[in-house]
Amino acid sequence: MNRDKSPKVLPQDEYNQVLISNVSPPGWRNPEPSKRYNLVVIGAGTAGLVTAAGAAGLGARVALIERHLLGGDCLNYGCVPSKSIIRSARSAEDVRLAGSLGIRVPEGMEVDFPAVMERMRRLRSKLSSHDSARRFQEMGVDVFLGEARFTGADSVEAGGKRLRFSKAVIATGARAVELPIEGLREIGYLTNETVFSLTERPQRLAVIGGGPLGSELAQAFHRLGSRVTLFEAGDHLLGREDSDAAQILQDAFVKEGVQLNLGSKPKRVSRTDQGKVITYEKNGKEEQLVVDEILIGVGRAPNVEGLNLEAAGVKYDRKNGVIVNDFLQTSNPRIYAAGDICLQAKFTHTADATARIVIQNALFLGRKKLSALTIPWTTYTDPEIAHVGMYERDAKERGIEVDTFARSLSEVDRAVLDGEDQGFVKLHVKRGTDKILGATIVARHAGEMIGEIGLAMVGGLGLKAMANVIHPYPTQAEAIKQVADMYNRTRLTPFIKRGFSFWLGLNRLNSAAALSRYRHRAQSVLSRAFAALAKKKAPERKEE
């Protein structure tokens, strides 16, 4: 059966037409289903695409079902468009700050908002060829465009066809939650599914939610020339991150001129001649703000509706999505899940990583565990905030004592020279050892730096080994080595220092006779000092 209607992505310009022709081709003819598939994949976002491509590449008979756009959130409404406009916004800020670097920019620097959005659409359409329906077809995947709905424990219906499977994976992702703010639906608002269709800059923009999505887009739109007010119910941005990291970001926002409204809760929205009026509560009082657009950046709701999960015996809840065990298997042993639909950590790289687990566990009797993954993440504000592993509070909850080592970027030459010295590298190790438990980096390119720490954690390398990594000078990543050096210095106890002083004192005598007289004692003191240094673990908490 052909689909008579392709979804629309606005504006319908040449770039979005290319996008659509790749990720939801008009007139697409769904194939005749095989008798039984090794794997039916529901949802063609990152998790579904990686699962389908990987399984087909290994020789499995695979069907992939997508109801909207292949590529899912990341390509169409998430990472790709947001990082494109963040890049433009960063340029705008660099031009604004050029004077402080001794570069005079002629008066009248101007952001061409339609051009910023057009650039984004052009790049998105270019990247969309990776996720195209035809490319997957050429890989040997049967691509069905239509809504999937389970009809039993081993069958699913899509586009009027019934597909039988040995195994299936649910990768239907998540969407923006609807906020219970009176009048919001009637007045209209933007979400990640509509904000990237803008062709005109909203002059006054309210962003509701100071998590990663809200913070990234608030700063980007501000830099692109909107007057932005960011509403956050909590007492700091990025509630998941440590408050010292969030504080640096808040200071940057305030310095740039983003209006921060922390501890505030929008209650009602109405429309007047002046614009959209948000009535919000702050410190027990009601206040109002008039804007042109409202962007909702709070929370993600798993796409469980319409799948008829009951028919397949798959347990789920509307808040956390499909319930899986550590092997990503649902309550129906034939059916697995991957990506945002079942994860707390809703990221493209976790969708990818869980897809790889599913391929092994579902098709090849693998026993790969979700809990074994070391997952980093980055919020792409300026500065970026990147994290991997545990926070200190996680360690406390688990009864693990930590030593924390931190280095401010104001001590790192390259960061000072770049004028990007507001940030830090902070590492937690298990107390008395050099085993890395987690790290937070606040830096302009923190996302590029966190990988080194992730690699050390995955490879079981401790801080002692990291102190041996030579970084080119000057780089901001030197901060990581400096943290490792701080750890190393804690290994120099008074005893070890005395041994070294004794040896150096002997050297100052500069006499072969004196050296040979003391050789025996010197060798013994020195070898004890080195042995102690080799064994020595971090003795105490040391923070900058």
Ligand X SMILES: Cc1cc2nc3c(=O)[nH]c(=O)nc-3n(C[C@H](O)[C@H](O)[C@H](O)COP(=O)(O)OP(=O)(O)OC[C@H]3O[C@@H](n4cnc5c(N)ncnc54)[C@H](O)[C@@H]3O)c2cc1C
Residue among 28, 33, 56, 67 that touches ligand X (CB under 6 A): 67
Instruction: Tell whether omega for the bond before 11 is within 30 degrees of 0, i.e. cis.
Output: yes
CA distances in angstroms from 420 to 20, 369, 415, 482, listed in the order given: 40, 39, 5, 17
C-alpha dihedral (498, 502, 507, 513), degrees to nearest 10: -170
Question: 361 — phi, psi (to 5°)?
Answer: -75, -40
Question: 506 — phi, psi (to 5°)?
Answer: -60, -40
192 touching ligand X, by CB under 6 A: yes
172 touching ligand X, by CB under 6 A: yes
Q: Smaller CB distance to ligand X: residue 190 or 429?
A: 190
189 touching ligand X, by CB under 6 A: no
C-alpha to C-alpha distance for 113 and 491, rounded to whole angstroms: 55
280 touching ligand X, by CB under 6 A: no
Contacts 24+ apart (CB under 8 A), 459-466: 461/436, 462/429, 462/433, 462/434, 462/435, 462/436, 463/405, 463/427, 463/429, 463/434, 463/436, 463/487, 463/488, 463/538, 464/434, 464/488, 465/434, 466/436
Pinpoint the alpha helices (H) of 264-391: 309-312, 348-358
Pinpoint the alpha helices (H) of 398-509: 413-418, 446-458, 463-466, 478-489, 494-509
Question: 232 — phi, psi (to 5°)?
Answer: -140, 130
348 touching ligand X, by CB under 6 A: yes
Scanning 71-79, 133-141, 413-421, 525-533 for contacts with ligand X by CB under 6 A, the matching segment is 71-79
Q: Work out whether strand 155-158 and strand 321-322 pair parallel, antiparallel, or are unpaired.
A: unpaired
What letter would DSSP give residue 27?
T
Scanning 1-9, 37-45, 400-408, 505-513 for contacts with ligand X by CB under 6 A, the matching segment is 37-45
Name the residue type at position 3.
R
Q: Smaller CB distance to ligand X: residue 30 or 82?
A: 82
171 touching ligand X, by CB under 6 A: yes
Q: Smaller CB distance to ligand X: residue 44 or 208?
A: 44
467 touching ligand X, by CB under 6 A: no
Q: What angle do CA 471, 477, 481 make, to 5 degrees?
A: 60
What is the closest distance, in whole angstroms, from the C-beta atom of residue 9 to ligand X in the complex?
13
Q: Smaller CB distance to ligand X: residue 30 or 172?
A: 172
213 touching ligand X, by CB under 6 A: yes
Q: Smaller CB distance to ligand X: residue 307 or 463?
A: 307
Residue among 289, 295, 351, 439 that touches ligand X (CB under 6 A): 351
Compose the 123-162 pattern: x for residues touching ligand X by CB under 6 A, - for all others. Answer: ------------------------xx--------------
170 touching ligand X, by CB under 6 A: no
List binders of ligand X among 307-336 (CB under 6 A): 307
What is the closest distance, in whole angstroms, from the C-beta atom of residue 3 to ligand X in the complex?
13
47 touching ligand X, by CB under 6 A: yes
Q: Smaller CB distance to ligand X: residue 20 or 213?
A: 213
CA distances in angstroms from 97 to 94, 112, 261, 383, 419, listed in the order given: 5, 18, 25, 15, 10
List binders of ligand X among 217-236 (CB under 6 A): none
349 touching ligand X, by CB under 6 A: yes
Give the closest residue to 179 by CA, choosing from 156, 160, 206.
206
Beta carbons within 10 angstroms of residue 537's beta carbon: 17
Q: Are 142 and 31 in contact (CB under 8 A)?
A: yes
466 touching ligand X, by CB under 6 A: no
Scanning 122-130, 337-345, 413-421, 518-526 for contacts with ligand X by CB under 6 A, the matching segment is 337-345
How many residues make contact with ligand X (CB under 6 A)?
Answer: 40
437 touching ligand X, by CB under 6 A: no
Residue among 339, 383, 438, 462 that touches ligand X (CB under 6 A): 339
382 touching ligand X, by CB under 6 A: no
Q: Smaller CB distance to ligand X: residue 296 or 486?
A: 296
3-state secondary structure at position 513: helix
C-alpha to C-alpha distance for 322 and 334, rounded to whole angstroms: 14
C-alpha to C-alpha distance for 180 and 36, rounded to whole angstroms: 44
46 touching ligand X, by CB under 6 A: yes
What is the closest distance, in whole angstroms, from the C-beta atom of residue 354 to ligand X in the complex?
8
Q: Smaller CB distance to ligand X: residue 253 or 380?
A: 380
Q: Smaller CB distance to ligand X: residue 177 or 290?
A: 177
Q: Smaller CB distance to ligand X: residue 50 or 506?
A: 50
66 touching ligand X, by CB under 6 A: yes
303 touching ligand X, by CB under 6 A: yes
C-alpha dihedral (436, 442, 443, 449), degrees to nearest 10: 20
Give the closest residue to 337 by CA, choosing from 57, 45, 539.
45
C-alpha to C-alpha distance for 405 and 544, rounded to whole angstroms: 7
Scanning 68-76, 275-283, 315-323, 512-520 for contacts with ligand X by CB under 6 A, the matching segment is 68-76
Scanning 75-83, 247-255, 357-365, 529-537 for contacts with ligand X by CB under 6 A, the matching segment is 75-83
Scanning 168-176, 219-227, 513-521, 534-542 for contacts with ligand X by CB under 6 A, the matching segment is 168-176
What is the binding site for ligand X (CB under 6 A)? 42-48, 65-69, 72-74, 77-79, 82-83, 147-148, 171-174, 192, 213, 303, 306-307, 339-341, 346-349, 351, 380
